[in-house]
Amino acid sequence: MHNQPYFSGFAPLPTGSDRWLMSDAQPHYLNPDADTLVICIHGFTGTTYEVYPAAQAIAQQGYAAVSPLLPGHGYKDLAEQKQQFARITKDGMLMAMRSEIRQARQKHQRVGLFGFSMGGAIALTMAAEGLVDAVAVAAPALQLPTRAEVLIPLLSGAKFFLDAPTQVDFPTSNYKFHHSRALRTLWQLARHGRKQLPKIQCPVFAVHSENDPTIPATVLPLMQQKIPTKIQTAWFNDSGHIMLRDVSGAEVAAAIAAFFTMEFGNTTAILN
């Protein structure tokens, strides 16, 4: 089966990519010479834009930070968005992140993961596979709203698009639609991530908002129940779902960076 490409933060973008990728979707690689790296993983329909504040905060602590663009995401043209997004799969997402971690291990002594929403489910799965040294997540998509949990597996045999709900009053680079097959991929990643929680052994930090309209607040108690090691949590209830771009974004980014500083130790900040 042909693997859908993703855009690594470690490699230059192909020539001419500015014609077909959103400007806010560019992968980032900050502080590449640091010994310790944190990979920052964006969410469903999103781009690197929504995790860049965390990457910046982590880099300001002297660590390297890389933000890849996941398969099917970040395209500029609507027709290309729809074509690529309808092709995303659970296995493709997980394979892309394993590839990014392999490259990270070749360049850096220690590797952490930060994942937002769908990226959080992916990050926790990678932690369960023992591939990273510490993991932080924001609004991890381990559960979806009840209606979505019921309807997505029932309807995903059909192929159709529907408008994505508008829930924020600030700029985003997210796609403005969903696809039934892509929603099934999100549901599969959430389900798979839940099953992997008991295998996690590395340090874990999770942040969420009780006012998130997308991911239920119950995901943090679920993590505390299923993960065998003690996890740290923090709540930012002034924010909605896209926590790093909402009103508490700076505080969320600082909390994530502080977690990795606590786990990896202080270093000299060299922000490229």
Structural domains of the chain, ranges and CATH numbers in brackets: 17-264 (3.40.50.1820)
- Choosing from 192, 241, 246, 248, the catalytic residue is 241
Give residue 1's pLDDT: 46
Helix 118-128 vs helix 90-107: crossing angle, to nearest 10 = 60
- Choosing from 173, 178, 209, 212, the catalytic residue is 212
**Furthest-apart CA atoms within the chain: distance in Å:** 53
2 has a pLDDT exceeding 70: no
* Each residue's pLDDT tens digit, 111-132: 999 999 999 999 999 999 999 9
pLDDT band at 161; cut points 50, 70, 90: confident
Mark whether 169 is an active-site residue. Answer: no
Binding-site residues for substrate sit at 44, 118
Q: What is the mean pLDDT of residues 147-152?
A: 91
Q: Of 23, 19, 73, nearest to 46 (Cα)? A: 73
CB 119 within 8 A of CB 215: no
pLDDT band at 269; cut points 50, 70, 90: very low
* Each residue's pLDDT tens digit, 232-263: 999 999 999 999 999 999 999 999 999 999 99
Quote the percentage of the chain above a pLDDT of 70: 95
- Choosing from 28, 42, 108, 117, the catalytic residue is 117
179 has a pLDDT exceeding 70: yes
pLDDT band at 271; cut points 50, 70, 90: very low
Q: Of 229, 55, 200, 33, nearest to 131 (Cα)? A: 200
Binding-site residues sit at 44, 118
**Mean of per-residue pLDDT scores for the chain:** 93
Tell me whether residue 1 is exposed, middle or buried, using C-beta atoms within 10 angstroms of its C-beta: 0 to 12, 13 to 18, 19 or more: exposed
Q: Cα angle at 264 between 117 and 10, to 5 degrees?
A: 60
Q: Count CB neighbours of 16 within 10 A.
A: 8
* Each residue's pLDDT tens digit, 183-196: 999 999 999 999 99
Mark whether 156 is an active-site residue. Answer: no
Give residue 19's pLDDT: 92
* Each residue's pLDDT tens digit, 44-98: 999 999 999 999 999 999 999 999 999 999 999 999 999 999 999 999 999 999 9
Quote the percentage of the chain above a pLDDT of 90: 86
Mark whether 248 is an active-site residue. Answer: no
Q: Of 95, 119, 113, nearest to 47 (Cα)? A: 119
158 has a pLDDT exceeding 90: no
Give residue 270's pLDDT: 42
Q: Phi and psi dihedrals of 207, rounded to 5?
A: -120, 150
